[in-house]
Structure 1
Amino acid sequence: MTLSEVRTAISEHKICVLVPTYNNHKTLKRVIDRILDYTENIIIVNDGSTDSTLEILADYPQLTIISLPENKGKGNALQIGFRKAKKLGFHHAITIDSDGQHYPDDIPVFVEALTKENEDILLIGNRNMSQDGIPKKSSFGNRFSNFWFWFETGIKLEDTQSGYRLYPLHKIPKKYFTPKFEFEIEIIVRTAWKHIPVKNVPIKVLYDPAERVSHFRPFKDFTRISILNTILVTITLLYIIPRNFANNFKKKSFKKFIQEDVLKSDGTNRNKAFSLAFGVFIGFSPFWGFHTALVISLSVIFKLNKILAFIASNVSLPPFIPFIIVASLFLGAPFVSGDGDIFSKEWNFDLVKNHFLQYVIGSMILATSMSAITFISTLLFLNKVNPEK
């Protein structure tokens, strides 16, 4: 795109550039001047800077400048900037760090990608993390973040930590729980949960130790990020995946669901059969309360069909629980001493508590046996109705 085309697209798509800044007086002016080559739709959020930031910003009366009395974190600054951008009528915001690591001349990359997609999308700059000068801790942190983003959303990205992004302002969540660095993880995960596409676009990056000021606190911020990912993973396992599964099921007839999501889903017949068998094994196992978390997380690790495994794990629905308990106790009776006559007793969890070892042994025998039967019968069925070439 030519410079004129970029400026026109920025106007048509109602794009602004949002720059959160905190004590980056060495690079701030250079960043602003280069952004001005493309647009004056710039919002600066001065997050309580104590250096000469205020004096620098005084030279730009044409820009929207928000100065906060004290530093409260990048996430808080971005949230304030997003609210201001929406009030000013913008539909998209390109965020760029003020520490000089991002090149404003990559703004056309985001604008062109948005124009081609022609839909609401969240774009994240993809840095070359293997180039010289990239701190090893940044490269490791990015790989760590990429894995958890994939686990939480199913979307594979090469860079999830870059602050150079384009946000669809009317599609991102309205309320957030994190005010600091971890905010940039929260927002992309929760936006993806709303079925908004999240993609990478290639950008350049510069790490100049003489100019760049990092406010990342390794121990505190990594701890906050880990806590956030723990919460997001829990929500993913207990709500997002079951919600998506239920919504997908509702949109299709049972026959179409079986044909498209079971018979024609990714994976070989053996993988599908093993996924169902694995789900059955977890469903009959004695890990009550953790079945969903176990079956989804382990399915991801072992690259199984998560939908099939989740369906099969529901063999332990409440109406079947008494029968599972009794079958487990019956199968475990020969391996322990004591009263094995469980048919004359009330079938409840007290019975399990009083015969716990017997129940655990029996439930593992039951889980193994039923999963083996499921695997063999499913594989024979799939090979018959959907033979592989």
Structure 2
Amino acid sequence: MLTALPVYNEQAHLERVLDQVVSQADDVLVVDDGSTDDTAKLLAQRDDIRVITHYPNRGYGAALRTAFCYAKTHDYDVLVTIDCDGQHEPQRIRELAARCAGDIDIVSGSRYLSASESGGLAAPEDRKAINQTITGEINQRLGLSLTDAFCGFKAYRVAALSPLQLREDGYAMPLELWVQAAHHGLKIEEAAVPLIYLDEKRSFGGELDDAERRLRHYRDVIDRALARVNVRHPAADVDPCAGLVASGVAVPTAG
């Protein structure tokens, strides 16, 4: 089992979260997506993780795709992804991984299942509303029954990632993932995780900080993903990472 964390300028949370993750996981990969704060310096001080660095920043989706590629090329059976912003509970890593067994391809954390417990502050109203709107549209268009389309805490059966052709670099990549997963008939279930929001401002980048523009962008990503779902990149038939990470943009370093 591999646990991967996409990070960008997370110096405030990095050491605390990593200490917790390494105590709960087998192997740990950090994808530093071109951080400009002290994240890289803090990562270089550790010998209990593996680090891949993007130069320059490419986006949350690109970092996840690099983690997918790493898990595939290093023959892991299960990949767990967890954010490094202090809003997930690392002690649930093995629970999610264990549920991603048998015929389950993706176990996705949900902060809105009835069994979920709230921790920290309530979700910002615009983020909650957009999540609910997009989750409903995803379900309607793809025939899924998700309650949380955006949670970054997931477990994947690595073999099930092979047919996926992912192209989105930004925060909306998980929406493309759902389109691909539905198209390829992957089996999905959700696991309740606590709803934890911290008292700090998070940016989606530029104009996406505006809720209405962000909602339009998410819908555009879904439309693009549906439009190209039947267009297969020919390299994918021979390259296990085709469409997951472009050559030359990730630099691995020993942890």
TM-score for the superposition, normalised by structure 2: 0.78
1:106 aligns with 2:92: yes
Partner of 1:183: 173
| Match in the other structure for 2:138 | 149
Instruction: Work out the CA distance in 1 between the residues paired with 2:123 and 2:87.
Output: 11
TM-superposed deviation, 1:95: 0.7
Q: Say if 1:47 and 1:232 are closer, same or farther in 2 by CA, change over 3 A.
A: closer
Larger Rg: 1
**Contact in 2 for aligned 1:20/1:46 (Cα 8 Å):** yes
Secondary structure, aligned partner of 1:100: coil
Residue equivalent to 1:327: none
Matched to 1:153, the amino acid is: L
Report whether the alignment pairs 1:222 with 2:208: no
Q: Cα RMSD (Å) of the superposition? A: 2.3
Amino acid at match of 1:91: D
Q: Deviations over 1:237-274 (max 9, x none)?
A: xx8xxxxxxxxxxxxxxxxxxxxxxxxxxxxxxxxxxx
Give the secondary-structure state (helix, strand or coil) at the position aligned to 1:112: helix
TM-score (norm 1): 0.53
Structure 2 equivalent of residue 163 of structure 1 = 152
Q: Secondary structure at the match of 1:162?
A: coil
Q: Hey, what does 1:69 align to over in structure 2?
A: 55
> Is contact 2:80–2:97 with CA below 8 Å preserved after alignment?
no
**What amino acid is aligned across from residue 224 of structure 1 in structure 2?**
H
- Residue in 2 that maps onto 1:205: 195
Match for 2:128: what amino acid? Answer: S
Q: Which runs of 5+ in 1 are unaligned?
A: 1-14, 240-389
1:137 has 2:121 as partner: no
| Paired residues of 2:30 and 2:49 also in contact (CA < 8 A) | yes
Unaligned 5+ residue runs, structure 2?
231-255
| Runs of 4+ that moved beyond 2 A | 128-132, 172-175, 212-224, 229-236
What amino acid does structure 1 have at the position aligned with 2:129?
Answer: F
Cα deviation, residue 33, structure 1: 0.7
**Structure ranking higher on relative contact order (CA contacts 8 Å, 6+ apart):** 2
Contact 2:104 2:189 in 1 (8 A): no
Q: 8 Å contact 2:104–2:188 — kept in the other structure?
A: no
CA–CA distance in 1 between the matches of 2:181 and 2:54? 27
Amino acid at match of 2:189: K
For the residue of structure 2 that corresponds to 1:54, the secondary structure is: helix
Give CA deviations for 1:83-112 in whole Å, capped at 9, x if unaligned. 112122112211111111111112133023
Give the corresponding residue for 1:56: 42
Instruction: Tell me the SS of whatever aligns to 1:171.
Output: helix
| Percentage identity across paired residues of the two chains | 22
Q: Which structure shows the higher helix fraction? A: 1
